[in-house]
Structure formats: C-alpha cells, structure tokens
Amino acid sequence: MTHALQEQLVCGVDEAGRGPLCGSVVAAAVILDPLRPIPGLADSKKLTASRRQRLAAEIRTHAIAWSVAEATVEEIDRLNILHATMLAMRRAVEGLSPAPLRALVDGNRCPALSVPVEAIVKGDATVEAISAASILAKTVRDESMVALDARFPAYGFARHKGYPTAEHLDALRRHGVLPCHRRSFGPVRALLSQAELWPEALR
C-alpha cells in the first residue's frame, strides 16, 4: 500500500454530549477525501446551528467514509461517562468502510482500537477530520434532543440540549426525572434521592 493511500485513510474522531444530564453520548468518525476539500470545517461549538447542518451534509456527501454511533443512557450509568464515550468512539470507528489505517481523536484519551490511535488536545479546532467528526456528532445529538423535546416539551430539550441549565434543573424539580436522564449524574441522582417527594408516575 502506498504512503499516499495510507495518509488518505486516516479518520478523525470526536464526541458530543459528555456533559448533558440526559440522552446518549454520540461519537462520529470521518475519513476526509483530500481530493474533495470541504471549506469551513471548524470546531462544531464555534459554528452556528445552520452552518453545522450545511457542513454535515457536505461531509456525508464528500467524505471517503463517515460513521456515527452512540452509547446509551443505560451504558453511561453502568460504565461511567468516560468509558461510555470511549465505547461510542470505538463503535464509530468500527462502522467505517473502508476501515481506517490510523485514527486521530480529539482530547487526551484514546479508545481501544484495532488501528494506531493518537489523542490530540483541541484537535477539533486544528485537524480537519476531527472537526468533521465533531460536526457530525453534534448535529446528530442535537437532532435527538429536538426529537425528545417534541415528546416532553415541558423540559425545554430543544433549547438547552440536555445541559444542566437553570431551565433544565427547574424542569427536573417541577416535573421529575425521565427515563432518558442519566441517573448517575449528580443533579439527577440528588433528585432521585428525594424520590418520595415526586408523584409515582414521575419517578
């Protein structure tokens, strides 16, 4: 295999949703095509929602391969958020076809992969393939929060995306803990410890 081909089959990996109190943690892996560059790739957090959506569509169209995977709320509560994040990243990389020969991961921890892997701090701002993965993970997770908002409008998921904002914490206190909430996370765990204060249906 030529060196040029090896350099092409490098995937960027990133996640979205480590900090929220609800929903899955989502990871994405992307192998960009150097012959089909995508202008404007950047850390997803620095982009507007509409810009992320446009770039996500371009990534899906122009990348050599892309994959999105998740670890569920149940897995987060069982494994802890760090290990669940690593699991989601591994699933995303394993979903790529063609398979990568090397992986570059945002942050300072690497999932266990079958290919060489390197962690790059702030990689979502400096490595285009990681930026692309960041954008895919963020857009997919945000879409899941919008869908959740349609089912439970009193919680404001479409606005805060599950993060522990004042609005979200107030909704938890008023309406109780949902099955989509991460019961191992402090604010949720604290409310569950006062379960006798909640109506039975909201426990």
pLDDT at 140: 98
**pLDDT tens-digit readout, 135-153:** 999 999 999 999 999 999 9
| Residue 177 located in a structural domain | no
**pLDDT tens-digit readout, 171-182:** 999 999 999 999
| Residue 136 lies in domain | 7-149
| Residue 2 binned pLDDT confidence (cut-offs 50, 70, 90) | very low
Give 90's contacts (C-beta < 8 A, 6+ positions apart).
111, 112, 113
Mean pLDDT value across residues 101-130? 97
- Please give the Cα distance from 153 to 109 (Å, whole number): 36
**pLDDT tens-digit readout, 30-85:** 999 999 999 999 999 999 999 999 999 999 999 999 999 999 999 999 999 999 99
Mean pLDDT value across residues 120-124? 97
| Residue 181 located in a structural domain | no
State the CATH number of the domain containing residue 89.
Answer: 3.30.420.10
Q: Supply the angle between the helices 128-151 and 49-62 in degrees, to the nearest 10.
A: 120
What is the average pLDDT score of the chain?
Answer: 93
SS3 letters across the chain: CCHHHHHHCEEEEEEECCCCCECCEEEEEEECCCCCCCCCCCCHHHCCHHHHHHHHHHHHHHCCEEEEEEECHHHHHHHCHHHHHHHHHHHHHHCCCCCCCEEEEECCCCCCCCCCEEEECCHHHHCHHHHHHHHHHHHHHHHHHHHHHHHCHHHCHHHHCCCCCHHHHHHHHHHCCCCCECCCCHHHHHHHCCHHHCCHHHC
pLDDT at 1: 42
| Residue 159 located in a structural domain | no
| Residue 14 located in a structural domain | yes
φ/ψ of residue 79, rounded to 5: -95, -25
| Residue 61 located in a structural domain | yes
| Residue 1 located in a structural domain | no
pLDDT at 195: 64
pTM for this model (two decimals): 0.91
CB atoms within 10 A of CB 138: 25
Q: How many domains does the chain have?
A: 1
**Encoded tokens for 88:** 């989601």
Of 5-14, 79-88, 185-194, the range with the lowest mean pLDDT is: 5-14
| Residue 174 located in a structural domain | no
| Residue 132 located in a structural domain | yes
